[in-house]
Amino acid sequence: MFEELDPLLHSQLRLAIMSLLIGVEEADFVFLKEKTNATAGNLSVQIEKLKEAEYIDVEKTFQGKMPRTICRITPKGILAFENYVKTIQTYFNTNNK
């Protein structure tokens, strides 16, 4: 009756990251940190988990002399996100038969 919620997405910060990435081509570490208000450490850990799951791609580059970490959502990530949204919606409606 209550389908399992993808544990990788059922996390406030990881969901916020995916929410941001689904709307844009790419986003870097600093952007994600500002938008989510996460600490750098927490963000670093959660990005790594999304990457391991292949929900996002992570590219480490340099902008001038400073490091820059760019994230992009993958097709697999889009699917997982859409599925999570659909699944949790079933927890919302009152008529659970």
Q: In what order do the strands lie in the sheet with 27-28?
A: 27-28, 66-73, 56-63
60 near DNA, rule: CB under 7 A:
yes
Tokens read off for 75: 């097709």
Pick one of 6, 14, 27, 81: the residue that binds DNA (CB under 7 A).
14
Long-range CB pairs of 59-68, under 8 A, 24+ apart, other chains included: 68/28, 68/29, 68/30
Least distance from DNA to the Cβ atom of residue 76, Å = 18
The footprint of a second copy (CB under 8 A) covers 1-2, 4-5, 10, 12, 15-16, 19-20, 22-23, 35-37, 85, 88, 91-92, 94-96
Question: Which residues contact DNA (rule: CB under 7 A)?
Answer: 7, 10-14, 28-30, 38-49, 60, 64-69
